[in-house]
Chain A
Amino acid sequence: MPKKYHIDIKATPLNRDFVSKFKIARGENCINCGKCTKVCIYEAHKRGAKDPRKIDDPHMALCKNCFRCIQECPRGALVKSLDPDFLALGGSYWKPDMLLSIWKQAEDGKVPVSGAGYRGPFTGPGFDGMWTDMSEIVRPTRDGIHGREYISTAVDLGRKLNHLNFADTGSLASNIHQTVDLPIPIIFDIPACKLSNNIMTSFVMSAVAAGTFAIMPANDISADIKQYISNIIPLVSPDKITAHQSLISGARLVAIEYATALLNDFGSVKDSIKKISQAVTIVRIPAMTGIEDAVTKLARSGAEVIHIVADYRGMEAPGLRQRFLKDVVRAVHLRLIEERIRDEITIIVSGGIAMAEHVPKAIICGADLIAVDIPLLVALGALLYEQPEMTITLPDWLEKLPAATVVQRIVNLMGAWHSQLLEVMGAMGIREVRRLRGETGRAIFFDEIDKDTFGKLFQQRETASI
């Protein structure tokens, strides 16, 4: 039996405080009676280690917002508020709660489980506008949490044939293209901010540990990093292929920068790469109006893998309209189906992948796999701000972290995301992530169901009263 894919998670606290959501201030009327230390079951309040006559400031990372200290303090001396540093994080797409959740998953590698029902908005733009579907009727395929070892998250990248030709003798006449197998439908995209050589090396090592790939601009691949080339996807521009010959010859996957000229000469660019190595080629193209046409043309010209890149909020480039990634993927996927060519190529999407749930959702919309960038940095303590312009700040202590710690943090995050993918697939009764691709019949889209239910109910009456 082939070895089962497993990500080794290991609790890796950094003993650094990330941001905390709440702030508790102790007023001057505190009499240090210690009641708070008795009622807090999370031990956030403690008597001063140096001066036990005074109560220390509460350790906010431990505070779980239960309100007991607030409500039981004999003097009402404790006041809670939302921490302004927490509120300042992120922006319209990247919410502070998302960043906190990524931090926690990087710490313990576990599926986040909590009590109380969902506390967020009913729907929203982006991936919030869709739910996956679980069927009460399709029961035998559901194995739940006990059957997760039967669920495959493997994908293969490369060009596939839509039929096989056999010779009269019965032997295979078709030329099967090279594909690259990945145990998880996630690859690491180019880091959203510049990393030092040390950290970048650890970053690549975590891709190796997780059994996946990291995309890197060819020029940035230093000598220390080059040794991991079989888990790196060098990104080259079409005119620099010979210049990066040695990298390409060692790589299993090579990414090519998109330029409009590529629509016409993709064939020759691909040939020049295949002369150097058997690497599978990926065309890296920004999400934009008309992308369906570009992808179709590339597919017809022999493209093997196409990587569609949206901006950090998942939006395509502004044009006639500006669609969110899930709608771009759906459009591309459906067009390729119309063209009868969908199964022959692999589609990767990235941009705005912020939570574990985005992985199955993007795949349901039509992607084969996703590439992730920002969450990997948040796992290492990065803070993201959307206003006035997108900035990512890395913590100053990052450089001093041992390589093994950096690697484990990213591996933990991927372990948690992988487990959550299994949870969702298990609940849906889908055993192969390949089968999940494009399964919009097993998804519920807000726009459609709202129109179908409330639209019909409330607009019908409008026409009736005219």
Chain B
Amino acid sequence: MPSRFKHKVPKYKVTRSDACINCGMCAKSCPYGVHERIEGHNKMRPPIDYKCIGYECRKNDEFYCVYKCPRKALSLSLNPMYETLGDCRWTSDMIIATWIMAETGYPPERTDIGYQTGNSDGGFDKLRLKFPVNPLKVERDEISTELRLNRRNDGRSNVVISTPMYGGGMSFGSVSLSTMLSKARNATIWNTFTCTGEGGYPEMLYPYDDHVITQVATGLFGVREETIQRVRIVEFKYAQGAKPGLGGHLLGEKNTESVARMREAVKGTSLFSPFPFHSVYSIEDHKKHIDWIKQMNPKALVSVKVSTPNDVDMVAVGSYYAGAHIIHIDGGYGGTGAAPDIAKKNIAMPIEYAIPKVHNFLKEEGARDAVTLIASGGIRTAHDLVKAICLGADGAVVGTAEMVALECVRCGNCESGRGCARGIASTDSELADLFDDEWATQRIVNLYHAWNYQLVEILQKFGMKSVSELVGRTDLLEHVDYS
């Protein structure tokens, strides 16, 4: 599923100087199609930068055009445009690699695009997988990536997802209907889930009920008996990693007519959800909350989404005792559609520390096997997913990665004015039309495929038959600073 835009963002820049004599040697040698010479024309076409594999090509004496050019008219450099794309968490390589995965369904074949780690100099980026020298021999088709979500065996739905990840909550209003639909359709195809986010349950999602999680957040937008009853999982959002201690943010201009109608609010007003749930001030209140949902929907599983303060482990245990099936911890470096910059980095801990804390505390309580621990907040790649599982999670929720699959460039302007200029995080009628549902669905399906492919490959290298064997295996990780 190729890009909907005319041009790609090139990593390299191939420059042709005036010394060029149009001999066409470069066009003959380059197998990647960077150089074109049209018969009858006396000038070479400008180099097609994005096709160039860059410095890796130096190994190829046969065709490295820079060496082969008889006039030494060609030179190679990093394209200055590339540096404007990424940042240290989502590097340009990671964004481009995700686009390639969304296009092809497989990780990039080019070796010059580093997609396994970012550049944040900490957390997942300092962890590495330690593969055994002689793993058990396992065939790809013997490997299961299933994750059972109900481990309480309490007679409620025995939900099993086919890949250990699902889509994060993004509200209608923060993102477009197309975006929500494509997430839901992907979830249906992959037998996993997506979450409605705080803004209500759009009618267009009804065909996908079995793969949608209704989110009950502090704004309580669109929370009605019927939206609780139509789904298999209900998620309580107590807090969010990108802005712990604060409720949802939807700035005025994004509160369009249809959004206001869904949320039963006034069009054009900024909506800041309260924090916390003013009906929950104790663990007993929390249990009452969970009981309320369980009463309304006798089959549904309950997921509790919290951020990662120091006491996240106690919250997890408390949630278990209150009857939750899934504990979903959202770390400090998670994505968002709108959050105060000061909150994004300065409140609560990164997910990498929270996962082992909660995993170990639940184990000590003897509760670990009865709950499913889901981690989110900066799970950017299949490698982050695997590391999160090794640290102790059962699976992960992804947010930003799905947006990048839809060609998000991480410009960070989701929140204001008409929202996303690229049509992903906007309900503006003109912008929301920038892509069609078919295209969007396929892009996310491809992303999930690429990640699942990498997950299976990694499990094979570990000689494991199931992703559940990976949970808590910190012995399979090493850290760049401690060795």
Distance in angstroms from B281 CB to nearest chain A CB is 5
Task: Please encode chain A, from 416 to 457, with 1 for each CB lying within 8 Å of some chain B CB and 0 for all others.
Answer: 000010011011110000000000000010100110011101
Distance in angstroms from A73 CB to nearest chain B CB is 7
Q: Does B1 reach chain A (CB closer than 8 Å)?
A: no
Specify the chain A residue showing the minimal Cβ separation from B353: A453
- In the complex, what residues of A have CB within 8 A of residue B122's CB? 121-123, 446, 450
Residues of A within 8 Å of B, CB-based: how many?
Answer: 69
Task: Please encode chain B, from 388 to 414, with 1 for each CB lying within 8 Å of some chain A CB and 0 for all others.
Answer: 000000000000100000000111111
Residue among A67, A72, A121 making CB contact with B85, cutoff 8 Å: A67
Cβ-defined contact, B353 with A67, below 8 A = no
Q: What is the interface of chain A mostly: helix, strand, loop, or mixed?
A: mixed
- Given contacts A114-B415, A116-B335, A424 and B346 within 8 Å (CB-CB): yes
Residue among B7, B90, B238, B482 making CB contact with A458, cutoff 8 Å: B482
- In the complex, what residues of B have CB within 8 A of residue A72's CB? 5-7
Q: Does A356 reach chain B (CB closer than 8 Å)?
A: yes
Residue among A114, A134, A453 making CB contact with B245, cutoff 8 Å: A134
Cβ-defined contact, A120 with B340, below 8 A = no
Residue among A73, A119, A357, A455 making CB contact with B410, cutoff 8 Å: A119
Cβ-defined contact, B315 with A80, below 8 A = no
Cβ-defined contact, A41 with B415, below 8 A = no
Cβ-defined contact, A119 with B346, below 8 A = no
- Given contacts A66-B413, A132-B346, A458-B483, A117 and B341 within 8 Å (CB-CB): no
Cβ-defined contact, B309 with A136, below 8 A = yes
- In the complex, what residues of B have CB within 8 A of residue A454's CB? 126, 352, 479, 481-482
Interface set, chain A 85-138, CB cutoff 8 A to B: 101, 111-123, 131-137
Cβ-defined contact, A131 with B335, below 8 A = no
Complex Cα gap A457–B246 (Å): 32
Distance in angstroms from A387 CB to nearest chain B CB is 20
Cβ-defined contact, B125 with A71, below 8 A = no
Task: Please encode chain A, from 385 to 427, with 1 for each CB lying within 8 Å of some chain B CB and 0 for all others.
Answer: 0000000000000000000000000000000000010011011
Which residue among B239, B249, B411 has the maximum number of chain A CB atoms within 10 Å of its CB? B411
- In the complex, what residues of A have CB within 8 A of residue B422's CB? 66-68
Interface set, chain A 327-374, CB cutoff 8 A to B: 355-357, 361
Cβ-defined contact, A453 with B356, below 8 A = yes
Cβ-defined contact, A116 with B412, below 8 A = yes
Q: Does A459 reach chain B (CB closer than 8 Å)?
A: yes
Q: Does A267 reach chain B (CB closer than 8 Å)?
A: no
Distance in angstroms from A147 CB to nearest chain B CB is 9
- In the complex, what residues of B have CB within 8 A of residue A118's CB? 89, 242, 332-333, 344-345
Complex Cα gap A113–B120 (Å): 22
Residue among B6, B242, B247, B409 making CB contact with A117, cutoff 8 Å: B242
- In the complex, what residues of B have CB within 8 A of residue A114's CB? 338-339, 341, 412-415
Interface set, chain A 237-262, CB cutoff 8 A to B: none
Interface set, chain A 18-70, CB cutoff 8 A to B: 22, 40-42, 64-68, 70
- In the complex, what residues of A have CB within 8 A of residue B353's CB? 449-450, 453
Cβ-defined contact, A137 with B5, below 8 A = no
Complex Cα gap A459–B483 (Å): 7
Cβ-defined contact, B346 with A113, below 8 A = no
Complex Cα gap A342–B78 (Å): 55
Q: Does B457 reach chain A (CB closer than 8 Å)?
A: no
Complex Cα gap A136–B306 (Å): 8
Q: Does B349 reach chain A (CB closer than 8 Å)?
A: yes
Complex Cα gap A426–B247 (Å): 11
Complex Cα gap A68–B6 (Å): 10
Distance in angstroms from A216 CB to nearest chain B CB is 30
- Given contacts A135-B309, A135-B310, A142-B275, A423 and B341 within 8 Å (CB-CB): no
Residue among B378, B411, B479 making CB contact with A67, cutoff 8 Å: B411
Task: Please encode chain A, from 265 to 293, with 1 for each CB lying within 8 Å of some chain B CB and 0 for all others.
Answer: 00000000000000000000000000000
- In the complex, what residues of A have CB within 8 A of residue B431's CB? 41
Complex Cα gap A151–B345 (Å): 22
- In the complex, what residues of B have CB within 8 A of residue A16's CB? none
Specify the chain B residue showing the minimal Cβ separation from A453: B353
Specify the chain B residue showing the minimal Cβ separation from A455: B482
Cβ-defined contact, A117 with B335, below 8 A = yes
- Given contacts A123-B122, A133-B347, A140-B281, A115 and B336 within 8 Å (CB-CB): yes
Q: Does B131 reach chain A (CB closer than 8 Å)?
A: no
Cβ-defined contact, A139 with B281, below 8 A = yes
Cβ-defined contact, A132 with B347, below 8 A = yes
Cβ-defined contact, A115 with B425, below 8 A = yes
Cβ-defined contact, B412 with A115, below 8 A = yes
Distance in angstroms from A87 CB to nearest chain B CB is 10
Complex Cα gap A429–B8 (Å): 47
Cβ-defined contact, A113 with B340, below 8 A = yes
Q: Does A321 reach chain B (CB closer than 8 Å)?
A: no
- In the complex, what residues of B have CB within 8 A of residue A82's CB? 80, 83-84
Q: Does B9 reach chain A (CB closer than 8 Å)?
A: yes
Q: Does B255 reach chain A (CB closer than 8 Å)?
A: no
Complex Cα gap A420–B83 (Å): 30
- In the complex, what residues of A have CB within 8 A of residue B356's CB? 453, 457
Q: Does A79 reach chain B (CB closer than 8 Å)?
A: yes
Specify the chain A residue showing the minimal Cβ separation from B425: A115
Distance in angstroms from A128 CB to nearest chain B CB is 8
- In the complex, what residues of B have CB within 8 A of residue A121's CB? 88, 120-122
Residue among A74, A355, A428 making CB contact with B6, cutoff 8 Å: A74
Cβ-defined contact, A117 with B246, below 8 A = no
Distance in angstroms from B409 CB to nearest chain A CB is 5
Distance in angstroms from B361 CB to nearest chain A CB is 13
Specify the chain B residue showing the minimal Cβ separation from A144: B275
Which residue among A67, A118, A356, A357 has the maximum number of chain B CB atoms within 10 Å of its CB? A118
- In the complex, what residues of A have CB within 8 A of residue B345's CB? 118, 120, 131, 357
Residue among B238, B249, B346, B410 making CB contact with A131, cutoff 8 Å: B346
Cβ-defined contact, B89 with A131, below 8 A = no
Cβ-defined contact, A361 with B275, below 8 A = no
- In the complex, what residues of A have CB within 8 A of residue B307's CB? 134, 136
Specify the chain A residue showing the minimal Cβ separation from B421: A66
Cβ-defined contact, A113 with B413, below 8 A = no
Task: Please encode chain B, from 79 to 113, with 1 for each CB lying within 8 Å of some chain A CB and 0 for all others.
Answer: 01101110111100000000000000000000000
Distance in angstroms from A257 CB to nearest chain B CB is 34
- In the complex, what residues of A have CB within 8 A of residue B213's CB? none
Cβ-defined contact, B349 with A461, below 8 A = no
Distance in angstroms from B174 CB to nearest chain A CB is 9
- In the complex, what residues of B have CB within 8 A of residue A22's CB? 84
- In the complex, what residues of A have CB within 8 A of residue B3's CB? 71
Task: Please encode chain A, from 220 to 238, with 1 for each CB lying within 8 Å of some chain B CB and 0 for all others.
Answer: 0000000000000000000
Cβ-defined contact, A420 with B340, below 8 A = yes
- In the complex, what residues of A have CB within 8 A of residue B338's CB? 113-115
Cβ-defined contact, A423 with B349, below 8 A = no
Question: What are 30 A-B contacts defined by CB distance under 8 Å?
Answer: A65-B412, A66-B422, A68-B5, A71-B3, A71-B6, A72-B5, A81-B81, A113-B251, A115-B339, A116-B400, A116-B411, A117-B400, A121-B121, A122-B123, A123-B121, A133-B309, A133-B348, A134-B244, A136-B238, A139-B280, A144-B272, A420-B340, A427-B245, A427-B343, A428-B347, A450-B122, A453-B357, A454-B126, A454-B482, A458-B483
Q: Other than A113-B416, A123-B122, A145-B247, give 12 A-B pairs with Cβ distance below 8 A.
A: A22-B84, A41-B417, A111-B340, A111-B342, A115-B415, A120-B87, A131-B332, A136-B238, A139-B276, A357-B345, A424-B346, A458-B483
Partner-A contacts on B (CB < 8 A): 3, 5-9, 80-81, 83-85, 87-90, 120-123, 125-126, 238-239, 242-247, 249, 251, 272, 274-276, 280-282, 306-307, 309-312, 314-315, 332-350, 352-353, 356-357, 377-378, 400, 409-418, 420-422, 425, 431, 474-475, 477-479, 481-483
Partner-B contacts on A (CB < 8 A): 22, 40-42, 64-68, 70-74, 76, 79-82, 101, 111-123, 131-137, 139-140, 142, 144-146, 355-357, 361, 420, 423-424, 426-429, 444, 446, 449-450, 453-455, 457-459, 461-462
* Pairs of residues from A and B, 9 with the lowest C-beta to C-beta distance, nearest first: A427-B245, A122-B122, A115-B414, A81-B80, A144-B275, A71-B5, A119-B87, A458-B482, A66-B421
